[in-house]
Structure 1
């Protein structure tokens, strides 16, 4: 079994000024050293992230970057970046060494891809680019992750009141999202307790997990919670409050049902629902820091990408700076 939890101190850096290049590079070097990279690989990681951020600063619109220890793989540093334009029409061409373009991440993409242990890109002309890449101490790609999540605090806050946790057991993937009531440290206390409680009982059914959280979060301000388990071509789902759950694919999406309430304080009778999960579908869960108005048809090709890129693109498309935000994209395990 492996467990994945969010890091509520994740720091997004806006790539709108040349100073962002140095800030991201320093963060990447710090994490690479912590992950046990040798000196050569630390330097290569610094070069790759510097090149990517430099191109965002030069060519992007509203670029944002996150560098973190990879939540799904040990001794791995993950870099995620997105922007709102101008995008790339031909990603394969952009990956060729020597290719030059005014498009975001068009310069040096070949070198970046060669240094990284693994990467994934989604880009649409006029809409923007999402890039996720990772670097490993072993120099081998991290195993494909069935799920990935991102959090982003409100405005320029450092602490996010939303959190997520993911557990994988064999072919089953179980994910939890908690939106702590309000924002800041008090909301974060509630959502981080939800993570700890989830990890105690993550092998149980979603209904039992949500009930466990509801009974024990009364010592906090409380929050909205939802749990989804993906296995055997179905997804079992239970939620309390306004976390949104969707079954999404290129052709559209279907909502999953939560009941009204605040975990730890009040709520309607909890229920669990089971839905068919087509092989080409992805389960999306997000707090109300993302608008529900996103549409798979507006981001063609996205749901063929990795969960990390899907989550980052939805955060870009639907995220609001007026609230903490959390989004998880999940598929069944292998």
Structure 2
């Protein structure tokens, strides 16, 4: 476990900008425009475009129900581009061979995944035969700022219901680096801009649940005792949650009621509230989000505080699935009925421990909650954004907005 006074967890803001399916030329053009818009630089933008062309052509020719998303990543100092490619099969049988420089499947541009990995500042890939592949490539301006050396501790992904361009689901994370507890500054909800218009994208074909044969529901797994954390003595209802010393992060998942632009207003308001609030505990942060969502449709919201020693404080209202997951276990965290922004009963905070190498996963009901740790075989060893995209591919449903956020525990 990390030391109590370790460095602040690495966090970046992330915005899903463009989704592309079966259109390599569109992906190349969008990558070029995005690189220029955020100031990536001409040479670095050309490298981004070359990598996107290879990834998109591979996806078009050899994947099933593949999609590519271009995302803007931002820190206080710099902006970059992240490329995520997600498909539902057939997977890569010999991944080491596919990553060798000069190896490229027939009909692509010929640079191969090895060259994509070399061009990118960060490259990650997870492939499981029969289920599909998730690929991630990040491109920052050159020279790359030293502040980006650490891998972000939190990653997530959102997608709107088929036929909509705005997503009512949202996620956010904020660092808390105060050494001593301080009173939270009251939050006043302000004006919120409407959701940004984007090109419509049909999500139904790429997010239908594909749980492997033999998957069990969490309830069945709990009855067998094979797919849950044995947390007796570690999880407890806390009547007065006090933040611990040192560095921590607050992570939120929000599901605006309904879908479309009006639901997106609730998600945007929740994100803004978390980022601007000085609250240090999930209950305080939930109260600030509650104030910010008055006048909106309201939302289901879950907020967790993860401290450097693995201590977790959790508070949830509404239908957000939350679980601590290891390679072989899953422990669900309890949320309570209510609608944030409209009606909340007394908030309750739970305290538990996040084991080393585990992950905290929060997702909306746009995903089935019937997945088990076995369904995520191999994913937990990858970056949070790859885990989130892999889970969305696996369990996403067709009838609602969806979002997943993944936070890493102590390493």
TM-score (norm 2): 0.75
CA deviation string 1:103-153 (max 9, x = no partner): x99971111111111111111111110001101112548431000111101
Task: Give 1:43's aligned residue.
Answer: 46
Partner-residue secondary structure (3-state), 1:25 = helix
Task: Give 2:296's aligned residue.
Answer: 220
Partner-residue secondary structure (3-state), 2:275 = helix
Instruction: Find runs of 4+ consecutive structure 1 residues off by over 4 angstroms.
Output: 1-6, 104-107
- Pair 1:314-2:391 in alignment: yes
Residue 269 of structure 1 deviates from its aligned partner by 1.8
Structure number with greater Rg is 2
Task: Give 1:116's aligned residue.
Answer: 120
Specify which of 30, 33, 44 is matched with residue 30 of structure 1: 33
Specify which of 94, 101, 104 is matched with residue 90 of structure 1: 94
Aligned partners of 1:320, 1:13: CA distance in 2, in Å? 19
Residue 201 of structure 1 deviates from its aligned partner by 1.9
For the aligned residue pairs, the C-alpha RMSD in angstroms reads 2.3
- Pair 1:178-2:259 in alignment: no
Aligned partners of 2:273, 2:410: CA distance in 1, in Å? 22
What is the 5 A alignment of 1:117-136? 117-136=121-140
Q: Would the aligned equivalents of 2:14 and 2:72 in 1 still touch at CA under 8 Å?
A: no
What is the 5 A alignment of 1:193-232? 193-231=269-307, 232=309
Q: Identify the range of structure 1 (290-299 vs 76-85) with the bigger mean alpha-carbon deviation.
A: 290-299
Q: Would the aligned equivalents of 1:259 and 1:269 in 2 still touch at CA under 8 Å?
A: no
CA deviation string 1:233-266 (max 9, x = no partner): 1211101111111101111211111110100111
Residue 225 of structure 1 deviates from its aligned partner by 0.6
- Which has the larger strand fraction? 1
Specify which of 303, 316, 322 is matched with residue 245 of structure 1: 322
Q: Would the aligned equivalents of 1:163 and 1:178 in 2 still touch at CA under 8 Å?
A: yes
Partner-residue secondary structure (3-state), 2:405 = strand
Partner-residue secondary structure (3-state), 1:98 = coil
Specify which of 69, 74, 89 is matched with residue 66 of structure 1: 69
Q: Would the aligned equivalents of 1:83 and 1:130 in 2 still touch at CA under 8 Å?
A: yes
- The count of residues paired between Structure 1 and Structure 2 equals 328
Task: Give 2:84's aligned residue.
Answer: 80
Partner-residue secondary structure (3-state), 2:330 = strand
Greater RCO between the two (CA within 8 Å, min separation 6)?
Answer: 2
Task: Give 2:19's aligned residue.
Answer: 12
Q: Would the aligned equivalents of 2:58 and 2:105 in 1 still touch at CA under 8 Å?
A: no
Aligned partners of 1:4, 1:75: CA distance in 2, in Å? 9
Aligned partners of 2:116, 2:347: CA distance in 1, in Å? 48
Q: Would the aligned equivalents of 2:354 and 2:409 in 1 still touch at CA under 8 Å?
A: no
Q: Would the aligned equivalents of 2:11 and 2:152 in 1 still touch at CA under 8 Å?
A: no
Aligned partners of 1:37, 1:98: CA distance in 2, in Å? 26
Task: Give 2:403's aligned residue.
Answer: 326
Aligned partners of 2:130, 2:380: CA distance in 1, in Å? 19
Aligned partners of 1:281, 1:305: CA distance in 2, in Å? 11
Residue 156 of structure 1 deviates from its aligned partner by 3.2
Q: Would the aligned equivalents of 1:38 and 1:137 in 2 still touch at CA under 8 Å?
A: yes
**What runs of 5+ residues in structure 1 fail to find an aligned partner?**
none
Residue 169 of structure 1 deviates from its aligned partner by 3.6
Q: Would the aligned equivalents of 2:105 and 2:112 in 1 still touch at CA under 8 Å?
A: no
Q: Would the aligned equivalents of 2:13 and 2:73 in 1 still touch at CA under 8 Å?
A: no
Partner-residue secondary structure (3-state), 1:111 = helix
TM-score (norm 1): 0.92
